[in-house]
Amino acid sequence: MKDLKAALAEHRLVAILRSADASRFADAGVVLHAAGIRLLEATLTTPGAPAAINALRLALGEDALVGAGSVREASDVDIAVDAGARYLVTPTVNPAVLERADALGVPVICGALTPTEIDQAWRLGAAAVKVFPVAAIGGVAYLRAVRAPLPDVPLVPTGGVHLADVESYLRSGAIAVAAATPLLGDALTPAGSLPDLATRAGEFVSAASRFKTA
């Protein structure tokens, strides 16, 4: 698989797996992969996430890039890497996390919100910066506003990204978008519908594919 930044630019979409438990992560991951989604993030706040990361990698193979989300501490970096995570996603800017990830050679999508935080994350070595929670602070208009003075920083809007938003974010210069509930719906719950997930995933991939790089 290409490096993280290149994968984001190529596929334009990250699926965030977050639930009360990780028992359905592998099943949902297979459906997402079949629809064309190649970057998946399993959040460490979900009980059982480390084992699920390993299961996802075994189920999807090297064609997928499986990462760990909600990485907040340096110790989380070790947990995620030991589980086989190929990249890390943070909700905040913690220099200790970026330093530990760099020492282990694992790329990070670092969470940030303000222009100062975004610039700090980038200067600390993030492969890309997750603008979170983007919908709560102005959505596409906010992304455009912060991208204007920071055009060199690859931005991944996250938090409340719906299907109808995908094209607007990518057209406004985001390298990729990340989606959780609007994409996963109830698929991670015991009674959730995987066929419905397949439909939503196909729609998200179709929207994102209009902006794939050559």
Active-site residues, by number, are: 41, 130
Q: CA 103, 79, 125 angle in degrees (round to 5)?
A: 35
Strands 155-157, 88-89: parallel, antiparallel or unpaired by DSSP? unpaired
Whether 56 and 84 have beta carbons less than 8 Å apart is answered as no
What's the CA gap between 7 and 9, in Å, rounded? 5
**Count, residues in the chain:** 214
Beta bridge partners of 204: none
Number of other CB atoms surrounding residue 3 within 10 Å? 12
Number of other CB atoms surrounding residue 40 within 10 Å? 24
Give the rounded distance of the alpha carbon of 93 from its chain centre: 16
Q: How far apart are the first and last CA of the chain?
A: 16
